[in-house]
Amino acid sequence: SGLATTSGEDISARSVRDKIQKMVEEEDVHKPMTDQKIVELLKTNGVKIARRTVAKYRDQLGVLPARMRKRV
């Protein structure tokens, strides 16, 4: 299944999951991104996605929520 971009094109769910995985790997471990922040960053890259969908994909990738990824 695919998602729409802001330009009306389709993007695969797999490529969106890959983008989310990369964002989480590159984030500041002391201030991890929330699902909403990931939504906002994807939107600036032209991907329209709901926060709930980001949470679902993050869960499928085995990535913990931001509050559980935070390191002091």
Question: Could you list the residue range(s) of the whole structural domain that residue 55 is in?
Answer: 2-63
Assign 3 a pLDDT band (cuts: 50, 70, 90): confident
Residue 69 lies in a domain: no
CATH number, domain at 53? 1.10.10.60
In a domain, 49, yes or no: yes
Q: What residue type is 41 in one-letter code?
A: L
Residue type, 11: I
Is pLDDT larger for residue 4 or for residue 37? 37
Q: Per-residue pLDDT tens for 7-40?
A: 777 889 999 999 999 999 999 999 999 999 999 9
What letter would DSSP give residue 47?
B
Q: Which residues are bridge partners to 47 per DSSP?
A: 5
Average confidence (pLDDT) over 47-55: 96
Q: What pLDDT is stored for residue 72 in this prediction?
A: 81
For residue 17, tell me if it sits in a domain: yes
Task: Please check whether residue 21 is in contact with residue 63, taking contact to mean a CB–CB distance below 8 angstroms.
Answer: yes
- Number of domains composing the chain: 1
**pLDDT value of residue 13:** 92
Does residue 20 belong to any structural domain of this protein?
yes
